[in-house]
Structure 1
Amino acid sequence: MAGSSAGASSSKGMAAQPHVLVVDDCSVSRKFNELIFKKYECKVTTVESGSKALEFLGLVDDNPSSGNDNQIPKVDMVCTDYSMPPGITGYELLKKIKASTTMKDLPVVIVSAETDPAQKSEYVINCHL
């Protein structure tokens, strides 16, 4: 694999890798999404909960991204699971990101692999830009 990635990184020149934050409570889903984004040469950070995502983004309730902007990593997109019990769901994470002054324009993709038989195991993707 090292041989195939060497040409790709040298051909990129000065273009920066897009940074995607993947949020999912299921380790298999996190790894799957990480591999997909890395295939397209994205930098990927993974976290297992909505609260960890808020911490990573600097949007914790006590300090909503006020003066620490240079310590917050630049993220180009968030890909989050819709349902993450217990705690903050993907939809609640989306609402907190859109309510912030510094990250309201950040694209958020909400993904769910619903296993409830009533939902017929549909794979639902909802994009909110």
Structure 2
Amino acid sequence: MESSSSSSKGFMANVEQPHVLAVDDSLVDRKLIEKLLTNLSCKVTTAENGASALEFLGLGDQHNSLESNVSNSKVNLVITDYCMPGMTGYELLKKIKESSIMKEVPVVIMSSENVPTRINKCLEEGAQMFMLKPLKQSDMKKLRYHLMNCSS
């Protein structure tokens, strides 16, 4: 019962607008992901690195004082680049999965490098999906399935 208009009725009539945290050190990639997700009626927050993402999620160094903010910024899905300076997407994934308050949130890893051992390592650590860049609208349609399952 999906409508072609961008109204909030359509496929998300019964759920809040899914909130996706997109993490990538490349501004161009962040803008692309944001546009693709916005086309699917998602609310998108972007972060340029793993530390910023953890801070937003309330899992930063002073996370005790930020845990109360987590409900304000409820995220339905995290999509992160694998190769980033400071903290890789894999390390971000591990920190999210180690958190009692965030471990149920699906994490999708993306990379421009197709390295099977890396892909398997991320999936074994709990990644929902591993996607190859550059991302396309068809990739986002696969994500919609996960969003609908975790936000209903």
1:44-123 matches, within 5 Å, as 44-64=44-64, 67-69=67-69, 72-85=72-85, 87-114=86-113
2:25 corresponding residue in structure 1: 25
TM-score by length of 1: 0.77
Please tell me the residue identity of whatever aligns with 2:95: K
- Flag the structure with higher strand content: 1
Matched-pair contact (CA < 8 Å) for 2:59–2:67: no
CA distance in 2: counterparts of 1:67 and 1:54, whole angstroms: 11
CA distance in 2: counterparts of 1:64 and 1:95, whole angstroms: 19
Q: For residue 75 of structure 1, report the CA deviation from its aligned partner.
A: 0.1
Matched-pair contact (CA < 8 Å) for 1:56–1:72: no
- Flag the structure with higher helix content: 2
CA distance in 1: counterparts of 2:105 and 2:16, whole angstroms: 17
Q: 1:57 to 1:28 in 2, by over 3 A?
A: same
Please tell me the residue identity of whatever aligns with 1:58: G
Unaligned runs of 5+ in 1: none
Q: For residue 83 of structure 1, report the CA deviation from its aligned partner.
A: 0.5
Please tell me the residue identity of whatever aligns with 1:27: L
Cα RMSD, aligned residues only: 2.6
1:42 corresponding residue in structure 2: 42
Structure label with greater radius of gyration: 1
CA distance in 2: counterparts of 1:101 and 1:65, whole angstroms: 16
Unaligned runs of 5+ in 2: 129-152
User: Equivalent pairs: percent with the same residue?
Assistant: 51
Q: For residue 62 of structure 1, report the CA deviation from its aligned partner.
A: 2.9
TM-score by length of 2: 0.66
